[in-house]
Amino acid sequence: MSGTSHDGLDAALVNINPLKNNRLKIKLIHHIHIPYDAALRNRIHNAFNGTTEQICRLNFELGEVFSQGVLSIIKESNVSYKEIDCVSSHGQTIYHIPPSETTTGCTLQIGESSIIAQRTGIPVISDFRTADMAVGGQGAPLVPMADYILFGKKDKTSAVLNIGGMANVTIVSDTIDKIIAFDTGPGNSLIDEVIRLYSNGEILFDNNGEIAQKGKPEKQLLDTLLSNQYFKKSPPKSTGRELFGLDYAKEILLNNIPIEDIICTLTHLTAITIVDAISPYNPDEIIVTGGGVYNSYLIELMTNGFREKGIKSINKITKYGIPPEAKEAVSFAVLGYLTLNHMTGNVPSATGANKSVILGKFTFP
């Protein structure tokens, strides 16, 4: 998994076995995070608005990077290659356009699967989003099926919140057809982009919210940001850097406001939109994962917001034995297992698809 934050590769080695009643026993054996160096991060960042040649070359380069991730985790785990049934690769999202009333959706994830298959000698399942979009879905979020398998509990509602470049949530109840999932809006994306632009690439993110804590939210800017039509849409909905990315960050920086106040305002934006999006479902528990868990200021704002709404149980995913940075990789391992066993992996109530479909494409070595 390489997310919209494009800070590195997360690989998870997962053992999955079937149980009764269509449930699965899922065990995370090992997880590694491979940080991208600055040059690769810049190439990925440039590809978001890049030329055809840039994207073409990066597709093969990331195939090599992902291959090394597979080889590294197998070596560190001391398992035999013969024990690995498949590699499940989400890839790096370069562009994602949800369907609208007038246009069909489309999406592009790169990280050449043929490279991974040839370097590792293991079959690869990749390109998960397109099958859902082919039947009218948003192609996102795709983790609800994994969230249901991992966190579904009888007579309990949980909100599984992932704060990455975008923030997305799955409202999990005891039956799959009741699942609701959607992107709440920006997670770290606008904060990261503004800091990157302001510092000319010398600072890539707000470490632990330290910059934001030095400022104060600017009400007029915050009100303007909150008026974005995306926040008024009802699920199913998804978004990405096409909306909450570089161009938006450039507009925000045009405001004559101290950088600390801008970053503070953007952190409040993420917290407020998450709380406003999830609170109406009144979950019994909120399970937080993704890189945003390491921004203590963001977590503090969000936690206070939920508690004001009467929601008290807010836990990091480590409570369930899964590191925050491993959760998305584990989720796509689950989706890969479903595909390998000819089982559907999308949740139409979450993506808006007109039917359940088997996700992904096979590449054999």
pLDDT band at 310 (very low <50, low <70, confident <90, very high): very high
In a domain, 100, yes or no: yes
Torsion sign, CA atoms 308, 260, 250, 49: negative
Range from 53-57, 89-93, 175-179 carrying the lowest mean pLDDT? 175-179
Residue 22 pLDDT > 90, yes or no? Answer: no
pLDDT of residue 303: 97
- Same domain, yes or no: 359 and 227: no
- Same domain, yes or no: 294 and 242: yes
- Same domain, yes or no: 127 and 155: no
- Same domain, yes or no: 302 and 181: yes
Q: Are 325 and 33 in contact (CB under 8 A)?
A: yes
In a domain, 250, yes or no: yes
Give the residue, 340 or 242, on which the prediction is more confident: 340
- Same domain, yes or no: 203 and 101: no
- Same domain, yes or no: 165 and 309: yes
- Does the N-terminal peptide bond of residue 141 adopt cis geometry, omega within 30 degrees of 0? yes
Q: Which amino acid is at 207?
A: N
In a domain, 325, yes or no: no
Q: Is 3 helix (H, G, I), strand (E, B) or coil?
A: coil
As a whole number, mean pLDDT of residues 198-206 equals 92
As a whole number, mean pLDDT of residues 12-31 equals 90
Look over the chain and give the mean of its residue pLDDT values, rounded to a whole number.
Answer: 94
pTM of the predicted structure, to 2 decimals: 0.86
- Same domain, yes or no: 283 and 312: yes
In a domain, 330, yes or no: no
- Same domain, yes or no: 74 and 153: no
Residue range of the domain that includes 194: 144-320
Residue 163, token pair as written in the block? 């704060």
As a whole number, mean pLDDT of residues 117-141 equals 96
Residue 333 pLDDT > 90, yes or no? Answer: yes
Q: Is 164 exposed, middle or buried (0-12, 13-18, 19+ CB in 10 A)?
A: buried
- Same domain, yes or no: 20 and 93: yes
As a whole number, mean pLDDT of residues 332-358 equals 95
Residue 312 pLDDT > 80, yes or no? Answer: yes
Q: Which of 359, 290, 365 shows the shortest CA–CA distance to 107?
A: 359
pLDDT of residue 177: 82
In a domain, 166, yes or no: yes
Which residues have C-beta within 8 Å of that of residue 226, sequence separation ≥ 6?
Answer: 269, 272, 273
In a domain, 332, yes or no: no
- Same domain, yes or no: 23 and 164: no
In a domain, 283, yes or no: yes
Q: Are 248 and 197 in contact (CB under 8 A)?
A: no
How many domains are there within the chain? Answer: 2
Q: Render pLDDT for 59-104 as a digit per residue (tens, 0 to 9).
A: 999 999 999 999 999 999 999 999 999 999 999 999 999 888 888 8
Q: Give buried/exposed letters for 239-278 (b at 16+ CB in 10 A, else e).
A: bbbebbbbebbeebeeeebeebbbbbbbbbbbbbbbbebb
In a domain, 328, yes or no: no
pLDDT of residue 141: 87
pLDDT of residue 174: 83
Strand partners, 361: 126
pLDDT of residue 154: 85
CA distances from 153 to 149, 150, 284, 352 (A): 9, 9, 11, 24
pLDDT of residue 361: 98
- Same domain, yes or no: 66 and 167: no
Residue 5 pLDDT > 80, yes or no? Answer: no
- Same domain, yes or no: 307 and 171: yes
CATH code of 37's domain: 3.30.420.40
Rounded distance between C-alpha atoms, residue 325 and residue 9, angstroms = 10
